Amino acid sequence: MSIAERVDQTPTVPPDEMAVPRTSRVRLFVEQRVAFAALVVLVALPLACVLAGVLPVQDPNLQVPTVRLGHPTTDNWLGADNLGRDNLARLLYGGRVTLLAAVQAVGVAVILGVPLGVLAGLAGRWVDAVLRTCMDALMSIPPLLLAFAIVGVLGPGLTNAMLAVGIVMTPRFQRVARSGARQVARETYIEASRAAGCSPWRLLWRHVLPNASGPLLVQISFSIGFAVTAEASLSFLGLGVQAPQASWGSMVRESFNVIRRDSWQIVPPSVAIAATLLATSLVGDGIRDAINRSGGGRSAGARL
Amino acid sequence: MSVLELDRIVKTYPAARGLLGRGRRRVTVLDHVSITVEEGETVAVVGESGAGKSTLGRIALNLIRPDSGRTVVAGQDLGALSATQLRRYRGVMQMVFQDPYASFDPMVSLEDAVCEPLLLHTSMSRAERRREALRLMERVGIRAEQARRFPNELSGGQLQRVAIARALATRPKVIVCDEPVASLDASVRAHVLNQFREIQAEDRVSYLFISHDLSLVGALADRVAVMYSGTVVEQGSTKEFFAQPMHPYSRRLLESVPEPDPTRRRLRLVDGALDAAAPVADGCVFRHRCPDAIDACRVAPTLLPTAHGGMVACHLASSVPVRAQDPRSLQQDNGPAPDLGPW
Amino acid sequence: MRDCDAAAPLLTVSDLCVQVERGRGHSAMDVLTDVSFDLARKEMLGIVGESGCGKTMTSLAIMGLLPRGLRITSGSVLLGQDELVGRSSAELGRIRGRRIAMIFQNAARSLNPSFPVGYQIAEVARRHLSMSRRAAAARAIEMLDLVGIPRATERARQYPHEFSGGMCQRVMIAMALACGPDVLLADEPTTALDVTVQAQVLALLRRLQEDLGLGVALVTHDLGVVAEVCDHVVVMYAGEVVEQAEVEALFARPGHPYTQGLLGAIPRSEHRHRPFNAIPGAVPRLGGWSSGCRFGPRCIHRSDACQRPVALNAWGPEGSVRCVRVGEVGG
């Protein structure tokens, strides 16, 4: 039987034909225009708040009696509140407070939730079971109620309120980190690195966490939105920001007090909160879709 | 001194538990399995799904701990090492996995992946590591610009060759190959197999080659061990095994391999619903499916030497006087010897 | 060589082309190009090739089950005298299962885990043959018996997870044949099975083909399987048919360099002392096919004539080969 001649091992195909450029997840994200636009907003808004001191914005605490409860004019783009303070300025300076608070809350949740989640995902059944029970217990309490309780113990103030919100959000992060860690731990490349002699710490740091980070990023973006809303709610109820500090939540409360006299006042802070929430959700969706599309790093191309 | 010795390995797993975890039944995945690999040798472990071959491969590397039995690699009993000592000893034994895409971290470049074992086991500087990694990859035919890429950018055959390079980084004495070409296209398998051969010739590495593909094993391995349901049923040199398989399961296995020659159709197309073997509580593991089973098979046979240097665990095989010069006596007792094609 | 029926073929595929859309600004990509073959009664046709060659896509295209984004752009599929291309999904739904059926690689995953197997088989019979519940149940048991499942009445009430891989594949075959189709497409039905179980399932397919007069198209990458059970062979590479022949002719005198390469790559006893034979390079991915001969970049006999697209020419007693240098090389 005649068979093909012996062939040498050097491929005669030029290398470019065989290698497929990797579609990075960043690229996949950017290609989703809505999510990208949302990200732009999500970056622009805090940037504006942070740079408020440099931008040509009025003094948020300056009370100008003549324009009390004024509607948008060329001087006051978003009008003025009941004490004559410029709404745009208050929105931007207040935004600093709100957004920083949201980052604090999410930070607390990540610092508490992720290590506990990774521990639950990688340690034995008992540890996992105990942690799950604790987290379930935390989650079964209505979030704001839990926040009240913590604030009640620690005292009012924005930092305490955000600590409370962070604790409330911890179970979700724990869950996401746990399932991510568990899934990655079962992958063959973890076994391969173990076989090569990797220590558990190196495995965790170099291999498990980077690969489990996708869902965590999604969770972070959703949680920022939640934290903003939570801050607004708590400040609205007087448990968060204390006067004279302003935040979006306190602005909502103040405009709520005068809503009978002027219904415009509530619009700027509400729109700001809603826009942030929408933007974070869209960004989260975008990250999740980009991760799903990249197929978790497997070889692309249709199976024929 | 053998480079790998698996001595009476036993491994069980808890079966699905009944309500309240009362059912303490355990499933035996490996039942007193012993296999030895000498220096520079390739020993193939063949069997079908459920035989326990992959578990055995992982026990050889101590990725899974056996319930009892010893694993001795290059003279060192792995069970006697502490966790840290074991980690440091891992340079001596390495593994190549079945699915190359799954065995690489998708977020790590190939160069870094091959550097990792060097980082863990040598005191090379970063630059030295990278040079060595590139040299290793060049040896398996992967050029420098490909080395910078990520796993999903290479073809299966190329990636498996990088896996070999990674396994060689620490100059191991033994490499466990778990079905390394099963997921590759037929036209590229040869590249990888030739690579294995070359490396063995140059470095005197030993292989524990796990495979279900008998034609491959016939061309590659020096010795063969056949496993069924957690037990080694036959062992021997490849030539002897293919010339004269002693165990009924080995014969059945060889008969079932489709032969690429349409003029010699030899699949005994006897349609018997003989799969779905239930786990056997006692006696020979194969007795429910064995066409030649006798009463004596209720007692598990032990692995006994045969006349031509192999070992077989079968009452029938060892009770028949085996004459190496007279294969026909075997035929009369056990039915016509199957036609085994070009082997 | 078995006696295939010389009457009109059961299935005729002619110049089938399938493309995948790629969104705005990109032209559609070829997935299958001019695929043609026939399937006669009592014939086992082997469709062989490696990953990415289009063999699975071919069966999906015939069945009208192409995934989203892929469509048949030209060509015809004749089931008996009836054209399948261009039919509505409702019409295809009536034909699938009734006159042409398909079985897949991973049988355990192709069965619904929530229903007993007898129910699933009966469901097919009820849908196409409008049988009563009782008649359909009886039919299901009859089919399970036909495919060699012992104690069929009892096992019809069991769920897929209670069957082993090989048994699941038999159940799939039973389900596929429940309405007595003329044509069975088998997409790598034994690839995921152990070799001893594979032998049994292949034996079963052969027996059923004899007894029921089926035409079976067996998609596989294993040339050993092709040699054991197939009558005719179609070799595919990069979306094209590169060679067609009767099985003995193919193995004795392969015409196309790719076929020669595939046959050469099979491990044999002589490889104990020689390096294994490989085909240089790797299977090109979708979209990376060259415009001339698609095997050209990997072919050791490549010449200038191979830069242009190559047509299928007659070769050997009843075969055809897509190679301009056939006859000069190997053979």
pLDDT tens digits, residue range B226-270?
999 899 999 999 999 999 898 988 988 888 888 888 888 766 554
Work out the burial of residue A66: count CB atoms within 10 Å of its CB; fewer than 13 is exposed, 13-18 middle, 19 or more buried. exposed
Collect all residues of chain A within an 8 Å Cβ-Cβ radius of residue C282. 11, 13, 18
Can you tell me the ipTM of this complex? Answer: 0.82
pLDDT at residue number A296: 45
- Coil, helix or strand for B326? coil
Assess C296–A contact: CB distance below 8 Å, yes or no. Answer: no
- Identity of the residue numbered C189: P
Residue C229 to residue B155, Cβ atoms within 8 A:
no
B177 in Cβ contact with B195 (< 8 Å): no
Give the least confident one: A45-49, B214-218, B270-274, B303-307. Answer: B270-274
Domain ranges in chain A?
Answer: 95-274
Residue C282 to residue A11, Cβ atoms within 8 A:
yes
Domain ranges in chain C?
Answer: 33-321
Q: Which domains does chain B have, with CATH numbers?
A: 4-221 (3.40.50.300), 242-334 (no CATH)
Q: What span, in angstroms and rounded, lies between the C-alpha atoms of B256 and B259? A: 9
Residue A304 to residue C53, Cβ atoms within 8 A:
yes
pLDDT tens digits, residue range B52-87?
899 999 999 999 999 999 999 999 999 899 999 999
Residue C93 has pLDDT above 50, yes or no: yes
pLDDT tens digits, residue range A33-88?
788 888 888 888 888 888 877 777 777 777 777 777 777 777 778 888 878 788 88
Collect all residues of chain B within an 8 Å Cβ-Cβ radius of residue C225. 258
Assess A44–C contact: CB distance below 8 Å, yes or no. Answer: no
Residues of chain A above pLDDT 90, percent: 23
* CB under 8 A, 24+ apart: contacts of B307-312: B308/B236, B308/B237, B308/B240, B308/B244, B309/B236, B309/B237, B309/B240, B310/B234, B310/B235, B310/B236, B310/B237, B310/B240, B310/B241, B310/B246, B311/B232, B311/B234, B311/B235, B311/B236, B312/B233, B312/B234, B312/B235, B312/B236, B312/B246, B312/B247
- Coil, helix or strand for A56? coil
Residue A174 has pLDDT above 50, yes or no: yes
> Chain B, 71-130: which have a CB under 8 Å from a chain C CB?
none
- A297 phi-psi bin (left φ>0, alpha ψ -120 to 50, beta other): left
Assess B152–C contact: CB distance below 8 Å, yes or no. Answer: no
- Coil, helix or strand for C159? coil
Residue C55 to residue A12, Cβ atoms within 8 A:
no
Residue B189 to residue C265, Cβ atoms within 8 A:
yes
Residue A195 to residue B104, Cβ atoms within 8 A:
no
pLDDT at residue number C233: 95
Q: If we measure between CA atoms, which residue out of B184, B37, B157, B163 comes closest to residue B96? A: B163
Residue B101 has pLDDT above 90, yes or no: yes
> Chain B, 167-206: which have a CB under 8 Å from a chain C CB?
185-191, 193-194, 197
pLDDT at residue number B233: 92
> Chain A, 183-202: which have a CB under 8 Å from a chain B CB?
187-189, 191-199
Give the least confident one: B218-227, C4-13, C249-258. Answer: C4-13
Q: CA of B286, closest CA in chain C: separation in Å? A: 13
Chains that touch B (3 or more CB pairs under 8 A): A, C
Q: Which residues of C194-218 are buried (b: 16+ CB within 10 A; e: fewer)?
A: bbbbbbbbbbbbbebbeeeebbbbb
Q: What span, in angstroms and rounded, lies between the C-alpha atoms of B28 and B228? A: 12
In this prediction, residues C70-83 reach a mean pLDDT of 92
pLDDT tens digits, residue range C120-179?
999 999 989 988 999 999 999 999 999 988 889 999 999 999 888 889 999 999 999 999
Q: Name the residue facing C281 among A4, A12, A301 (closest C-beta).
A: A12
pLDDT at residue number C118: 94
**Residue C44 contacts by C-beta under 8 Å, 6 or more apart in sequence?**
C205, C206, C209, C216, C218, C229, C230, C231, C232
pLDDT tens digits, residue range B148-200?
999 988 888 899 999 999 999 999 999 999 999 988 888 888 889 999 999 99
- Identity of the residue numbered C119: Y
pLDDT at residue number B326: 37
Average pLDDT, rounded, for chain B: 84
pLDDT at residue number B316: 81
Residue C281 to residue A13, Cβ atoms within 8 A:
yes
pLDDT at residue number B321: 47
- Coil, helix or strand for C240? strand
Assess A19–C contact: CB distance below 8 Å, yes or no. Answer: no
Q: What span, in angstroms and rounded, lies between the C-alpha atoms of C170 and C151? A: 14
Per DSSP, the residues of C291-331 read SS-TTGGG-TT--GGGGS----EEETTTEEE--TTBTTB--
**C34 backbone dihedrals φ, ψ, rounded to 5°:** 50, 50
pLDDT at residue number C75: 94
Residue A197 is encoded by which pair of tokens? 């002699």
Beta bridge partners of B305: B311
pLDDT at residue number C235: 95
> Which strands form B4-14's sheet, in the order they lie side by side?
B26-37, B4-14, B68-73, B76-77
Q: How many CA atoms lie within 13 A of B343 on its CB side?
A: 24
Which of the given ranges, A99-103, B186-190, B272-276, has the highest pLDDT on average? A99-103
Q: CA of B89, closest CA in chain A: separation in Å? A: 8
C238 in Cβ contact with C11 (< 8 Å): no
Q: How many CB atoms lie within 10 A of CB A16?
A: 10
- Coil, helix or strand for C207? helix
CATH superfamily, domain A95-274, is MetI-like (1.10.3720.10)
Q: Name the residue facing B91 among A11, A197, A299 (closest C-beta).
A: A197
- Give the residue from chain C lying closest to A303, CA to CA: C52
Residue C131 is encoded by which pair of tokens? 């049988």
Q: If we measure between CA atoms, which residue out of C314, C317, C318, C328 comes closest to residue C257? A: C328
Residue A101 is encoded by which pair of tokens? 């608070």
pLDDT tens digits, residue range C113-136?
999 999 999 999 998 998 899 999
Q: What span, in angstroms and rounded, lies between the C-alpha atoms of C258 and C263? A: 9
In this prediction, residues C239-248 reach a mean pLDDT of 93
In this prediction, residues A130-153 reach a mean pLDDT of 87
Residue C80 has pLDDT above 70, yes or no: yes
pLDDT at residue number A9: 32
**B297 backbone dihedrals φ, ψ, rounded to 5°:** -70, -5
In this prediction, residues A235-256 reach a mean pLDDT of 82
pLDDT tens digits, residue range C262-277?
998 888 888 888 888 8
Residue B155 to residue C148, Cβ atoms within 8 A:
no
% helix, strand, coil for chain B, step of 5: 40, 20, 40
DSSP state of C239: T
- Identity of the residue numbered A16: D
The helix (run of H) or strand (run of E) holding residue A210 is helix A209-236
* CB under 8 A, 24+ apart: contacts of B119-127: B120/A196, B120/A197, B120/A198, B120/B87, B120/B91, B121/A197, B121/B88, B121/B90, B121/B91, B121/B169, B121/B170, B122/B170
Q: How many CB atoms lie within 10 A of CB C27?
A: 8
**Residue A202 contacts by C-beta under 8 Å, 6 or more apart in sequence?**
A193
- Identity of the residue numbered A82: N
Residue B219 to residue C269, Cβ atoms within 8 A:
yes
- Coil, helix or strand for B314? coil
Q: Model confidence at A24, in pLDDT bands (50, 70, 90)?
A: low
Residue A4 to residue C277, Cβ atoms within 8 A:
yes
Correct CATH for C33-321 of 3.40.50.300, 3.40.50.2300, 3.40.50.970, 3.20.190.10: 3.40.50.300
